[in-house]
Amino acid sequence: MEKEIVISAHKLTKKFGDFIATNEITFKVYAGEIFGFLGANGAGKTTAMKMLCGLSIPSAGEATIAGFDVYRETEKIKQNIGYMSQKFSLYEDLTVVENIRFFGGIYGLSNKELKSKSEALIKTLGLEKEVDKLVGSLPLGWKQKLAFSVAILHEPKIVFLDEPTGGVDPVTRRQFWDLIYDASDRGITIFVTTHYMDEAEYCDRVSMMVDGYMKALDSPENLKKTHGAATMDEVFFDLARGAQRQGD
Amino acid sequence: MRSLLFLLRKEFKQIFRNKSILAMIIGMPIIQLLIMPLAADFEIKNIKISIVDHDRSVYSKNLIDKVIASGYFQLNDYSTSFEQSFQQFEANNSDLVLEIPQHFERDLVKLQEGSLLLAVNAINGTNASVGSAYLSNIIGQYNQELRKQGLSASIAMPATIEVATLNWFNPYLNYPFFMVPGILVSLVTMVGIYMCALNIVKEKEVGTIEQINVTPIKKHHFILGKLIPFWVIGVFVFSLGLLGVARVAYGIIPVGSMPLLYSYLAIFLIAILGIGLLISTYSQTQQQAMSLAFFVIMVFILLSGLFTPIDSMPEWAKVIANLNPLTYFIEVMRMIVLKGSGFAQIKSHFLAMIAFAIFFNGWAIINYKKTS
């Protein structure tokens, strides 16, 4: 049976003046997949992700997200995706429960849904005691788990995670990935960028961006095989060695 | 519509949680309205004067008494040497030097003419021109009195035309009456533009706006969610100033219709918040927004007719003043509050303000992009 395609990009390109941030990338992401989007700093990951989220209009190429066109149907895309950026993006001066209600509310959840979902979410994250604390006072790891949970509160088809685990300890990262697996089991497609190669191993398929080009796309096992490498670390070095652009 | 309610709830919670904003919307109008009108008083008093009296006669003494008794002048020093007084002048201790020559009395009585030297320290232009005008006036009066005393009965009395002035709408030329309504307008402008611009740019800085832009929130809902809370705050600040400080501290009770005044305020605030929104769309950081807003507000306040009459501005400045929403609201404030003007008199002002509101908000909305 043909798998459902939720993201399809064909020669997707973004230029800023003479600079080509993302150069004709072509790929497909299937429903329920955990898709790792790797690359060195400045390789064009964030730019590509912004185009897929409807935050940035491509310069050329085509793409559809959940069946909607990235040029004309950005608002429909937004209804069907969740997004969590590398900059932490909840309101620090609102409490845990206020953030959940706010973001759930603007995605159109009913009051009943908001109530049941926020209770369930708080229980899953073990935040019962912190419900009325300002988000700004929580440790980073908790904030990120909360931000992820809020991003998928409205059960989107796809969730985009831009370096979601930057700066947190290995235990918290592990817990974060448990949340990702849970979401994936529920059928949410995960599109994640990361710099941690152990996280790349958790993905179903991984792509590698180098200097705006997509240099590789396969499962971690196959990538290691074709590059004759023991770990994803070695695969990354092998591919990124030739990179011209320096990190940003 | 429902997402707008969520946005409004969020904004109000954030505002009331922010202590510095609360201080700004309550403390600022009270303090500014209490201090500014006193400082912005154009009535010149306490002009420091040095008097050089070479004559030391009854007439010269009388003249000096008259000058000091007028209440506008403060005697800095009294001497018989111009050099000595001039040193005071150079040290910026006095604004005016009045030199009474020797034989002042004798010449007046015998030759029926006297001369005085008035030297003015023109560094402070206002003090200088107003001070010398006052002094000339006092000397003129003294001159008249001498004539009436029959000092020179031989000279025919010139016919005097007395001018009686009646000050309408502000009978005692009470300065705060004139200034307070205008200052209140500039205050509301500052609070509105700064708060609106900084709030939105802060979301850009923290990164939450990106999160908002990736949600299906409608652009106009997001903008309304920002404008409505600051509109409410603007009305609050205005009311605190007008019904609180202006009434209690200055006894200003609007003569005209309050609903009319508040209708105008409502449109004015929409225009002003549109400017704040516009500034935020051009700024990436709070610092940029702050500098831009400061520049705009300075120009608006200085070219609004608040401190200086627009009629005496050069043509190019008049053009700017006419494109300045503050100009219209300050005029309307003075007209409604002091004069009791009705809708018919300020109809054109209404139209102008509606045009401003549409222009600034339209520009800002076009320039605000969820997708780049």
Say if residue B306 is in the same domain as residue B361: yes
Residues 4-63 of B with CB under 8 A from A: 5-7, 9-10, 13-14, 17-18
Tokens linked to B328: 């219209």
| pLDDT tens for each residue of A204-223 | 999 988 888 888 889 989 98
Separation of alpha carbons A134 and A95, rounded Å: 4
Residues of chain B contacting residue A75, judged by C-beta atoms under 8 Å apart: 216
Cα dihedral A175/A179/A185/A187 (nearest 10)? -150
pLDDT of B322 over the 80 cut: yes
Name the most confidently modeled range: B42-51, B100-109, B298-307: B298-307
Domain co-membership, B279 together with B132: no
pLDDT of res. B159: 53
Q: Which of residues 210-269 of B touch A (CB under 8 A)?
A: 210-217
Claim to verify: residue B61 and residue B197 sit in the same structural domain = no
User: What proportion of chain B, given as a percentage, has pLDDT over 70?
Assistant: 92
Question: What was the pLDDT predicted at B194?
Answer: 93
Task: Name the average pLDDT for chain B.
Answer: 86
Mean pLDDT of B43-56: 83
Share of chain A above pLDDT 90, in %: 54
CA–centroid distance for B90 within its chain: 31
Task: Look at residue A157 in the predicted model and tell me its pLDDT.
Answer: 93
pTM above 0.90, yes or no: no
A79 close contact with B: CB closer than 8 A: yes
B197 with B264, same domain: the answer is yes
Rg, C-alpha atoms of chain A: 18
Res. B333: pLDDT tops 70:
yes
Alpha helix stretches (DSSP H) within chain B: 2-17, 19-39, 58-69, 82-90, 104-110, 125-148, 175-206, 208-213, 219-239, 247-250, 258-282, 286-302, 315-322, 325-333, 347-367
Q: Is there a domain that residue B197 lies in?
A: yes
Is residue B258 located within the same domain as residue B202?
yes
Contact criterion met (CB < 8 Å) for B371 and A79: no
Chosen domain end from B88, B116, B148: B148
Question: Are B59 and B110 part of one and the same domain?
Answer: yes
B46: pLDDT strictly greater than 60: yes
Nearest CA in chain B to A53: B214
Average pLDDT over residues B337-365: 93
Of A33-42, A186-195, B43-52, B249-258, the poorest mean pLDDT is in: B43-52
Q: Are residues B241 and B339 in the same domain?
A: yes
Contact assignment for A57 to B215 by CB distance below 8 Å: no
Is B362 a member of any domain? yes
Residues B43-59 have a mean pLDDT of 84
Residue B229, pLDDT above cutoff 90: yes
ipTM of the predicted structure? 0.86
Closest approach of A126 to chain B, Cα-based (Å): 24
Please determine, for residue B361, whether its predicted confidence score (pLDDT) is greater than 90: yes
Inform me whether the C-beta atom of residue A69 falls under 8 Å from chain B C-beta atoms.
no
The pLDDT tens digits of the residues spanning B133-170 come to 888 888 888 887 877 776 555 455 555 565 666 667 76
User: Is A201's pLDDT higher than 80?
Assistant: yes
Q: What is the pLDDT of residue B172?
A: 63
Determine the distance in angstroms separating the CA of B21 from the nearest CA of chain A, rounded to an integer. Answer: 14
Tell me the C-alpha to C-alpha distance, in Å, between residue A220 and each of A31, A213, A233, A235: 18, 19, 11, 9
Is the pLDDT at B33 greater than 70? The verdict is: yes
Does the distance separating the beta carbons of A83 and B6 come in below 8 Å?
no
Asked, for residue B156, whether it belongs to a domain, the answer is no
Residues 6+ apart with CB under 8 A from B275: B193, B296, B325, B360, B364
pLDDT at A190 over 90: yes
**Looking at CA atoms only, how far is residue B371 from chain A in angstroms?**
5
From chain A, pick out residues whose CB is under 8 angstroms from the CB of B13. Answer: 94, 98
Inside any domain, residue B322:
yes
With respect to residue B165, please indicate whether it lies within any of the assigned structural domains: no
Q: What is the mean pLDDT of residues B91-107?
A: 85
Q: Is pLDDT above 90 for B239?
A: yes
CATH label of the domain that carries residue B140: 3.40.1710.10
* Average of per-residue pLDDT across B89-102: 85
Question: Could A83 and B214 be called an inter-chain contact, meaning their C-beta atoms sit closer than 8 Å?
Answer: yes
B173: confidence class by pLDDT, cuts 50, 70, 90 = low
The pLDDT confidence band at residue A41, using thresholds 50, 70 and 90, is confident
- Which residues on B lie below 8 Å from A94 (Cβ)? 10, 13-14
pLDDT tens readout for residues A119-147: 999 998 988 898 899 999 998 888 999 99
* The two three-digit tokens of residue B226, written as one number: 């920002």
pLDDT for the residue B237: 93
More confident site: B165 or B281: B281
Host domain of residue B352: 2-40+171-371
Q: Residue B152 has what pLDDT?
A: 52
Query: pLDDT band at residue B42, thresholds of 50, 70 and 90?
Result: low
Show residues of chain B in contact with A89, CB under 8 Å: 207-208, 210-211
List B147's β-bridge partners, or say none.
none
User: What is the per-residue pLDDT for B35?
Assistant: 87
Task: Summarize pLDDT for A56-103 with one digit per residue, the tens.
Answer: 899 999 999 999 999 999 889 999 999 998 777 899 999 999 999 999
- Which of A46-50, A76-80, A164-168, A243-247 has the lowest average pLDDT? A243-247
**Does residue B104 sit in the same domain as residue B205?**
no
Which tokens hold the place of A112?
Answer: 């009943």
Is residue B201 within 8 Å of A83, Cβ to Cβ? no
Instruction: Tell whether A88 is within 8 A of chain B (Cβ).
Output: yes
Amino acid sitting at position B350: F
Candidate from A161-170, B40-49, B89-98 with smallest mean pLDDT:
B40-49
Count of structural domains, chain B: 2
Tell me which chain A residues have a C-beta less than 8 angstroms from the C-beta of B206: 87, 92
Put simply, the answer to whether B208 touches A108 (Cβ < 8 Å) is: no
- Within 8 A of B5 by CB-CB distance, chain A residues are 105
B199 and B122 in a common domain: no
Tell which of A70, A71, A85, A106 to mutate to test the B interface (max B CBs under 10 Å): A106
A contact test, residue of B206, B214, B219, B368 with most A CBs within 10 A: B214
How many angstroms from the chain centroid is the CA of residue A70?
A: 17
Distance from CA of A108 to the nearest CA of B (A): 7
- A216: Cβ–Cβ under 8 A, 6 or more apart, which residues? A206, A207, A208, A223, A235, A239
Q: Which residue of B has its CA nearest to A111?
A: B2
Q: Are residues B58 and B73 in the same domain?
A: yes
Contact state of A98 with B13 under an 8 Å Cβ cutoff: yes
Cβ atoms of B76 and B50 within 8 Å: the answer is yes
> Are B187 and B317 found together in one domain?
yes
Residue with tokens 């309304």: B224
Q: Is residue B96 part of a domain?
A: yes
Q: What is the mean pLDDT of residues B97-107?
A: 86
Q: Spell out a b/e string for A211-231, using b for 16 or more CB atoms within 10 Å of the CB, else e.
A: bbbbbbbbebeebbeebebee
A228-237, B117-126, B268-277, range with greatest mean pLDDT: B268-277
Shared domain check, B71 and B29: no
Q: Last residue of a domain, which of B115, B148, B181? A: B148
Question: Do A91 and B213 lie within an 8 Å CB cutoff?
Answer: no
Confidence of residue A247 (pLDDT cuts 50, 70, 90): low
Instruction: Tell me how far apart the alpha carbons of residues B355 and B334 are, in angstroms, rounded to a whole number.
Output: 21
pLDDT band at residue B233 under the 50/70/90 scheme: very high
pLDDT band at B20 (very low <50, low <70, confident <90, very high): confident
pLDDT in tens, A142-178: 899 999 999 999 999 999 999 888 888 889 899 999 9
